[in-house]
Each structure stands twice: as C-alpha cells, then as structure tokens.
C-alpha cells in the first residue's frame, strides 16, 4: 500500500510510483521522519552552498570579482 509519505519520498527522490514498495511495511510516521531528514539535508546543503558561494567571492581577486559574481549569480548580484 502506498502511504502519503511513501508517495512523498518517491516525489522527493524523483522515482516512479511504486519504486519504494520495499518500504511499504514501514509505518507512515517513520517514513515521514525519513522524508523530513531528506528535506533537512537538502536545506542544509542549500544554506551551505549559499554561504559558501558568497564567501568564495571574497577570495576572488578584485579585478575578477565582478565577472565571478556575474558567473555565480547569473540572476543578479546578491
């Protein structure tokens, strides 16, 4: 049986419906904890990437910094 959180996991991981059928016996609450853990990992990595990219700019020599900023933030300077 596909539970709400099993479907959520398959969506998070971009898997076809039923790909995680081996996990159908796990209580839905626990599957929710797993899905939350994946969301947390994605969020932590996003935050680290955002901070790391900003910090990286500080190491770029002055003459190249504008070009680097345009490269790293193509939708506009942060």
Partner 1 sequence: MSDLRSRVEVMKLARELGIAEADLEFLRPVDAGALRDLRGSVADALFANHRSRFELLAALTRLLPNGITARIAQHALGPLLSSRIAAVLKPDDAAGLACHLPASFVTDIASNGDPGRLLPVIARLPEDLIVQVGLDLLDRREYLTLGRFVSSVDLEIIMRVVERATSEDLLAVGLFTEEPAALDGIMRRVDDDTLGGVVRAAAAGGHFDDAVTLLTALSPESCARLMQLAARFDEPTRAGVVTAIIANDVWPALMPAIPDVPADALAGFVNLPETADPAVVESIVRHAHGLDASAAFAHVLAVADAEHLTVFESSPALADPAVREWATAAGWKATV
Q: Which residues bind partner 1 (CB under 8 A)?
A: 12-15, 19-20, 22-23, 25-27, 30, 33-34, 37-38, 40-42, 44-46, 48-49, 52-53, 55-56, 58-61, 64, 67-68, 71-72, 74
Residue 7 or 34: which CB sits closer to partner 1?
A: 34
CB of 56 to partner 1, least distance (A): 4
CB of 59 to partner 1, least distance (A): 5
CB of 1 to partner 1, least distance (A): 16
* Phi, psi angles (nearest 5°) of residue 47: -65, -45
Cα separations in angstroms, 10 against 3, 36, 40, 60, 61:
11, 13, 16, 40, 44
* Contact criterion met (CB below 8 Å) for 42 and 64: no
């Amino acid at each position: 049986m596909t539970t709400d959180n099993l479907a959520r996991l398959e969506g998070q991981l971009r898997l076809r419906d039923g790909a995680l059928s081996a996990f159908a016996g796990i209580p839905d609450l626990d599957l929710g904890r797993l899905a939350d853990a994946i969301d947390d990992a994605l969020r932590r990595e996003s935050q680290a990437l955002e901070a790391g990219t900003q910090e990286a700019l500080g190491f770029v020599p002055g003459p190249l910094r504008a070009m680097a900023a345009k490269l790293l933030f193509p939708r506009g300077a942060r």
